[in-house]
Amino acid sequence: MTDDPSVDDFWRECRTVIDGLPEDAPEAWAFGATPEHADGLLALVLAGTKTATASSLWDYEHTGEELPTVGLLNIILDGRGAPRALLETTAIAVVPFDEVTAEHAFKEGEGDRTLAHWREVHERYWRTHSESPRGFAPDMPVVCEELRLLHAAQA
């Protein structure tokens, strides 16, 4: 179990509706860098619009966090830190920023879902919020992750 009773309660709920989940809860985290961003991206996940995300490989290297793998489970928090969704990673690809595909941008579900919008938003995000001092570069490695919603908290 975790140090957060709400995450533990959500995980117990997930385990009652999905057979075969492990006893220990997976990592819980929120999308984005602000509570508003977390809520907006979570809403896209819950609506079925956002089925992918992207992260900076440089951020993973800087923090020492392990890269996601296919089959990884994640509890997604809202902007207040409440668990709202259980996601499973279904595909991973690491590609240069300038080679991220229009298909991946569409799956991320943000804005008008175009590659141009994706590039603009993600460049701005990594220039402002990157955990790595390397920040952003047009050829930086990006971890493109596809996700499947397994369970959503009862509203």
Report the distance separating Cα 87 and Cα 146, nearest Å: 10
Amino acid 4: pLDDT: 86
Q: Are 85 and 152 in contact (CB under 8 A)?
A: yes
Residue 155 has pLDDT above 80, yes or no: no
At 51, which amino acid appears? T
What pLDDT score does 97 carry?
98
Return the structure tokens found at 61. 């290297």
Q: Which CATH number fits domain 5-152: 3.30.1320.10, 3.10.400.10, 3.90.1150.10, 3.30.365.10?
A: 3.10.400.10
The answer, yes or no, to whether residue 30 has pLDDT greater than 90, is yes
Question: What pTM, to 2 d.p., does this model score?
Answer: 0.93
pLDDT tens profile 64-122: 999 999 999 999 999 999 999 999 999 999 999 999 999 999 999 999 999 999 999 99
Q: With beta carbons less than 8 A apart as the criterion, state whether 147 and 109 touch.
A: no
Q: What are phi and psi of 150, to 5 degrees?
A: -100, -35
Indicate the domain borders of the chain.
5-152
CA nearest 31: which of 49, 44, 12, 14? 44
Measured CA to CA in angstroms, residue 87 lies from 14, 112, 113, 131 at distances of 11, 23, 21, 23
